[in-house]
Every structure is written in structure tokens, then in C-alpha cells.
Amino acid sequence: MYYIGLDVHKRTISYCVKDGSGTIHAEGTIPATRFDLDRWMKTLPQPWAAAMEATVFTGWIYDHLQPHAAALKVAHPPFDFDLCICHPPVASTKELCSNQLNRRA
């Protein structure tokens, strides 16, 4: 299983892909379009699970990724401390990905 942390913004999506041992396999940023998500998903190792923070832009991304993911989670911003405790309070993609790996059980 591969674990992906997504940092969703209006025009871009940053990501971090790790395996079960914590090894980073990929990091980067893609444009926030269905075309670019499709192209990016073709590069992902299988199977994969992802997590992202709930934002005004999360809905269509969730709907687009969900059929392809083994699991897909969305965290409500006030509950982000369940995902990570960091400073500043907004987690980076790498921190989100790392903490999702630690919480996968």
C-alpha cells in the first residue's frame, strides 16, 4: 500500500507519496484540473490511499479520485490535530503524509 498526502489549493495540488516503511516515492505539485489528476494517477504505484484537508476545492477532487483509491479520507480543518501537530498550524503535505502513515492502523 502507498499513502498519499494531498495539499489542495484553488489552482494547484501538492502531494507526497510514501510506502508502508516511510520511504518517499514522489513529491510534487500538479495543476488542479481533472486532466492533470488523470495524468498524475497513471504514474501512481498501486494500491494507494490518500488524505486531504477539507477546503472549498476538495469536493470535486475527492469525487474524481475516489473510484481509483483503495481509501480516500478528508479531514475537517478544526480536527487537523488528529492528522498532525505542527507549527505553523497548517500541515505541509509532507507532514500530513507522514502522520497519515503513522495513523494507518
Enumerate the domain spans of the chain.
Answer: 2-102
Would you say 41 and 2 are in contact if contact means Cβ atoms under 8 Å apart?
no
Q: Could you give the CA distance from residue 66 to residue 25 in angstroms, rounded to a whole number? A: 21
- Between CA 30 and CA 104 the distance in angstroms is 25
Mapping DSSP onto H, E and C, the string for 36-71 reads HHHHHHCCCCCCEEEEEECCCCHHHHHHHHHHHCCE
CA dist 21 and 61 (Å) reads: 27
Fold (topology level) of 2-102? Nucleotidyltransferase; domain 5 (3.30.420)
Q: Would you state the pLDDT for residue 65?
A: 96
pLDDT tens readout for residues 25-84: 999 999 999 999 999 999 999 999 999 988 888 999 999 999 999 999 998 765 544 444
Average pLDDT over residues 86-90: 37
